Each structure stands twice: as structure tokens, then as C-alpha cells.
Homo-oligomer: A and B are copies of this chain.
Amino acid sequence: MERLNTNKKKIVNDPVFGFMTIRSGLVFDLMEHPYFQRLRRIKQLGLSNMVYPGANHSRFEHALGAVHLMQSAIDTLELKGADITPEEAEAVMAAILLHDIGHGPFSHTLEHSIVEGIPHEEISLMLMEELNRQFEGRLSTAIRIFRNDYPKKFLHQLVSSQLDMDRLDYLRRDSFYTGVAEGTIGSDRIIKMLNVHNDRLVVEAKGIYSIEQYLLSRRFMYWQVYLHKTVLSAEFLLINTLRRAKELATAGVPVFATPLLSIFLTGKISRTDFTEGQLFDGRPLLGLFAELDDNDILASLKQWQYSDDKILAYLAQSLITRRLFRVRMQEQPFTEAEIAPMLREIERRFAVSPDEARYFLFCDSITNSAYTGGDDTVNILFRDDKVLEISEASDVKIAGLSKVVQKFFICYPKALDIK
């Protein structure tokens, strides 16, 4: 960080928000911890830079941006009379700083390839607890807020809800770095409209339109960026490449990987390996995970291009040289009648078995909705202290707001199109 002051306040120069001042000493100390420094080496948007070349921003900047917004939210709420002690303010900032600490490299893609059965939130929590030990309990309140075990529920909502500082930062940041300017949300305006009512985070009535704009911009960013079909195609390749490498490795076929990745590639890692502190190479698994980053994946992928296994080599090379697979998308599922001849063609062209052919063809579906009510609703506070859920409060009562749209896609080598 560009540190302009030598005293307690630290300043980080951010392309999105300008100078961001970190006021909390605890937050600053956490930033310097290797667990957090690792986030510099994990891209926020994984493979999206295959489509948007500017999207190389890291989880590190995102977490700092979320802290910056949290400070602003706390200031606003305090001004409106919300009861937040200095300790709670520091805790909620620590919680937002660390909310993504458990993300691995290319997390959304590889969550189930590298570590099975453990969502990243759970790993975040394990790492926070380890940090709490190292920081001698200074993170206890932050952890309770993160787990939603803390009495003041609105603090948890600032960290994790439809309107949390995580989303407010990542939507603005992703919009900025992809160059998709029309995805910009009014994070400043939304924060100024926040209030606390009956221990719940609410938005004041005049912020309704901002919330609508926010929900629909989020939906737009999903279609335009997060679920962009070329991004999906790249992610599918990565998943299948890792899957193949793991299959080979567990079958005893020598597959190069960086030492860190090797551990996760060869051993079948389960939740208990994490929780019971089993040692690998003499080190606990959690600590090893906390060192894994994009470089392990990419350095290994590059080598796999030259693997003796033709499938692994083909997949890795397609990704590294950006010979991405064709994607087709439609509103109905692809039928067996459509898929079967394609698989046979793959078997023929690539001289692979039916099982192996599945590495070259991938069918799945994506879903998107602007707003998923359920437990976690956005609530609007009216002058008469009436509170309505946004889908009730919106004057257009946008039917589509919470409608879930599902699309089906299929990916396969472009060579198949040229018959």
C-alpha cells in the first residue's frame, strides 16, 4: 500500500475509490498477516479476464474496498443514532476484511475440484479462528458477527446479506475493471440511505429506486460478466482439466504440480483433514491451503500442456493458449439425442473411450435472478415506521425481480463444428 502517514492511519490508493483510509489498528495488523497477503495472488474474477482483459483485480483490493465501504456505513448509521460501540465497529470491519479469506484460487470454479465438501465460508471461519488464536482473542467479536451469533443482528447483515459491503464493493469494482460502465451501482447513495430498525438493516423509503437500480445492475453484471458464455467455457475447461489431473494423480500416474497443489491433487481431502489438523509434509492442512493461490494452478496447467496424457495435454493447452470451446446456450435442456452423436464424434476424432469423451463435452445450466427473497430480504423503512420488503415496496412491484431464470449450455471443441 502507498502509506502516506507514518502514524496509525494508513492510506491505500485505490483506482475505484481513491484514497482509502484504514482507521483501525486491528484491521491494519490483519492486513499484514500472510493469510491476507495471499489474497494479492488470487484474482477476484478468476478467468473473466479471458473476455475482459482488464479484469485482473485481486481479492486483496476487494477486501480493502469492502472495509472502506464498511467505515462509511458505520459513520452513517452512527449519525442516525444506531448503537455501535467502538469495539463493535472494529469487529465488523475485521469481519468484512476477512469474509473471503477462505477462498482458494479460481474459487467459484474449483471449490469442488480442489477440496470436496467444504464450502469456502467454512474455511474462512477456520482461518479466522486460527487468526483469533494468533491475535489472542481480539477477533472473537468479529467471529461472532461473521457467524451471526452476535446479538446485534444488523452487524452481521453489513457483512453478509443482500446489501452487505461485500456485494457493494465487488459489483462496483468488477464493473470498473471489466469496463462495463453501465453496471455501476450507487454504493455511496445506498450507504447514505441505510438505517437500523428493530435490529435489522433497512433502507429508507427514498432509497427505493436506488435499490431497484442496484438489484437490476447486479442481474446485468451476472449475464454480462459472471455468466458470460465465454467465461463459462473457460471455467468448464479448467474444471475438467483439474478433474483429469486429479484422476491421473490418484491413479498413480505422475503428474507435475507445484508442491502445494500436489497435496490437494493426490490426496482426497475431506473436511476432517481440516478440522482434525492432520499433517501433510509435516504441516497442517489449513496452513497449506492458506498458501495456495492462482500461481499454483497456472504454473501446473502450463506444464500439463506437455503431459503424456493426451487428454490432459489437450485440455491444458486449450486453456493456456485460449483455444476455448464452443458454447451453445438455450432455454431447454440439451437432450440425450443431441448429446450422444457429439460424444461419438469426440470418441472418433480424439480416439478416446466413451468415459474419456466426457472430458471434452460439458452440459450444465446456469440460473440468475435479481433478487432472492427468502430469509434474507431487503427491507424498506417508510416514514410511519412501516417496513416493507422491497418486492412489496417497489411501485412497479417488478414481477421479474425474484424470478429465477435458468439457461442450459453445452461446451465442446470448436473442431466439432467443422465437419
Contact = CB atoms under 8 A, between A and B. Distances in A.
Interface of A: 1-2, 4-5, 7, 9, 11-16, 18-19, 32, 34, 37, 40-41, 43, 49, 51-54, 56-58, 60-61, 64, 79-80, 176-186, 188-189, 192-193, 206, 209-210, 212-214, 216-217, 219-220, 223-224, 228, 256, 258-260, 291, 293-296, 298-299, 302-303, 320-322, 331, 370, 394-401, 403, 405
A416 to B, nearest CB: 18
Contact of A14 (B53, B259, B400): B53
A303 B181 CA distance: 40
A302 B291 contact: yes
A260 to B, nearest CB: 7
Nearest to A216: B216
A183 B214 CA distance: 10
A301 to B, nearest CB: 9
A206 B295 CA distance: 34
16 contacts: A1-B53, A4-B206, A13-B53, A15-B176, A19-B189, A34-B321, A40-B49, A181-B184, A182-B184, A182-B186, A209-B220, A258-B299, A295-B295, A298-B299, A396-B400, A397-B400
A13 B179 contact: yes
Q: Report, nearest first, the 3 A-B pairs whose CB atoms are least far apart.
A: A396-B400, A182-B186, A399-B399
Contacts of A1: 51, 53
Contact of A303 (B179, B180, B258): B258
A228 B79 CA distance: 25
B182 A217 contact: yes
Contacts of A185: 182
A35 B26 CA distance: 45
A61 B57 contact: no
B192 A209 contact: no
A207 to B, nearest CB: 9
Contacts of A176: 15
A57 B60 contact: no
Given A19-B188, A192-B5, A212-B216, A13 B403 contact: no
B180 A13 contact: yes
B298 A41 contact: yes
Contacts of A177: 15
A18 to B, nearest CB: 6
B178 A15 contact: yes
A256 B281 CA distance: 15
B400 A53 contact: no
Contacts of A80: 7
